[in-house]
Homo-oligomer: A and B are copies of this chain.
Amino acid sequence: MNEQKGALSGLRILDLTRVLAGPFCTMMLADMGAEVIKIEEPGKGDDSRHFAPFQNGESAYYMNLNRNKKGVTLNLKGKGRELFLSLAETADVVVENYRPGTMDKLGLGYETLKAINPRLVYAAISGFGNTGPYRLRAGYDIIGQAMGGLMSTTGWPDGEPTRTGTAIGDVLGGLSVAIGVLAALRHRDLTGEGQMVDVSLVDSVVASLEIITQIYLTEGRIPGRIGNRYESVYPYDSFRANDGSIVIGAGNDKLWHLVCSVIGRPDLAADERFDSNPKRVKRHAEVKPLVEAWTQLHSIDEIVEKMLAAGVPAAPINTIDRLVKDPHIAVAREMFVNVTHPKAGETKLTGSHIKMSATPSAIRTPSPELGQHNGEVYGEILGLSEKEILALRQEGVL
């Protein structure tokens, strides 16, 4: 059935990436039906195979990011280099996240691959990109978040710059390089011309700042840390409940009047200190305790229910245990999916968040064991015999 094949069915992607940014990109492409062949170091594999948490000895980190992929082993030096070049002749895309220059040193740089396959899309993800004075610096997620300016604007007044609680630099990089790959494929399909896509974690974080950077470029004011509120409207902030916190987004006078009514203080709606949004923004430190005087007496669920019933945008600040049980997120939107892994057993992975009506993304297979698809890939694609594959394994090539 066409519906089962995925939007990217028929594409072959050679995946040299490790850990998070690159694997997140190729995971999305695999979820959408591309054939992703993950190439790992013989005997060792992706570092993230050894990252906690584990289930029956299998890394959930690895299992989540590498579902739907085929797994082969290959030492890229010596004989392995020739095998990689043969695979690259048959591929649509190569994705790698080595430090710039590493692929060139291996004799596998873009110019080499382009010469044997001009239609190839070559995508590189690195900390700082393939050009510029910092290109050889190591680029971990925390370095992308720090240098890209994001940490300086996350956190509380008089508090420290704060890292976003997920590896958001890696995630932004992975999403961005997927866009570049798909755009380059469209150009390739129409013209026959492949190209190199170069995405850095730092650039991706910078692109995410949007209006934050414009505040400085336009007004000369350095945006600081203002906790959970926004600069332009109030109450649009977090508030304490008796069992956690919630957020309320009341951006205009009408919504403010509804908030006053829900919290049992209709008198505040007419209070001249708070009767316009600019006044509420200016006096946000007075407004917050007035709202919290009511919210802190009630539970997250009660507050959200009452606010939503009155027409006020509100939401729980979900902790992860609440998130994975949420009837909308977990059930209706299928954001957590049961997958059976041959070693780990029954696992629950994060579902695809890109919902498509005709070619739905799906988790079709669990992550591969190290070298699981050596026979299929080297046998069927390159025509090697079982004997040849065994010999290559004994030589340490596979």
Contact B358 A219 (CB under 8 A): no
A373 in contact (CB, < 8 A): no
Task: Assess A318 versus B164: contact at CB under 8 Å? Given A7-B183, A179-B354, A210-B24.
Answer: no
Contact A162 B154 (CB under 8 A): yes
A318–B352 alpha-carbon span in the complex (Å): 33
A263 in contact (CB, < 8 A): no
Q: Give the contact stretch, choosing among A60-68, A79-87, A383-391.
A: A60-68
Contact A206 B323 (CB under 8 A): yes
Contact A208 B168 (CB under 8 A): yes
A348–B64 alpha-carbon span in the complex (Å): 40
List residues of chain B with CB within 8 A of the CB of A397.
none
A23–B155 alpha-carbon span in the complex (Å): 26
Q: How far is the CB of A36 from chain B (nearest CB, A)?
A: 14
Which of chain B's residues has its CB closest to A185's CB?
B186
Q: How far is the CB of A188 from chain B (nearest CB, A)?
A: 9
A297 in contact (CB, < 8 A): no
Task: Assess A171 versus B219: contact at CB under 8 Å? Given A160-B245, A317-B161.
Answer: no
List residues of chain B with CB within 8 A of the CB of A332.
131-133
Q: How far is the CB of A380 from chain B (nearest CB, A)?
A: 23
Contact B359 A232 (CB under 8 A): no
Q: Give the contact stretch, choosing among A38-46, A145-153, A266-274, A364-372.
A: A145-153
A359–B197 alpha-carbon span in the complex (Å): 10
List residues of chain B with CB within 8 A of the CB of A128.
328, 333
Task: Assess A246 versus B184: contact at CB under 8 Å? Given A137-B308, A155-B165, A318-B152.
Answer: no
Interface centre among A159, A171, A190, A218 (most CB of B within 10 A): A218
A20 in contact (CB, < 8 A): yes
Which of chain B's residues has its CB closest to A134's CB?
B328
A324 in contact (CB, < 8 A): yes
User: What is the 8 Å Cβ interface bit string for chain A, positions 196-219, against chain B (1 contact, 0 not)?
Assistant: 111110111011111111111111
Q: Nearest 8 pairs between A and B by C-beta?
A: A132-B332, A153-B165, A195-B358, A182-B182, A154-B165, A203-B353, A53-B218, A207-B353
Residues on A lying within 8 angstroms of B by beta carbon are 2, 7-11, 20, 24, 28, 32, 51-55, 60-61, 64-65, 110, 128-134, 137-138, 140, 142-143, 146-156, 159-168, 171-172, 175-180, 182-187, 189-191, 193-200, 202-204, 206-219, 222-223, 225, 227-228, 230, 232, 236-238, 245-247, 249, 308, 313-324, 326-329, 331-333, 335-336, 347-348, 350, 352-359
- Can you list 9 pairs linking A and B with CB atoms under 8 Å apart? A7-B184, A55-B218, A146-B246, A150-B166, A155-B162, A156-B159, A171-B172, A202-B329, A203-B355
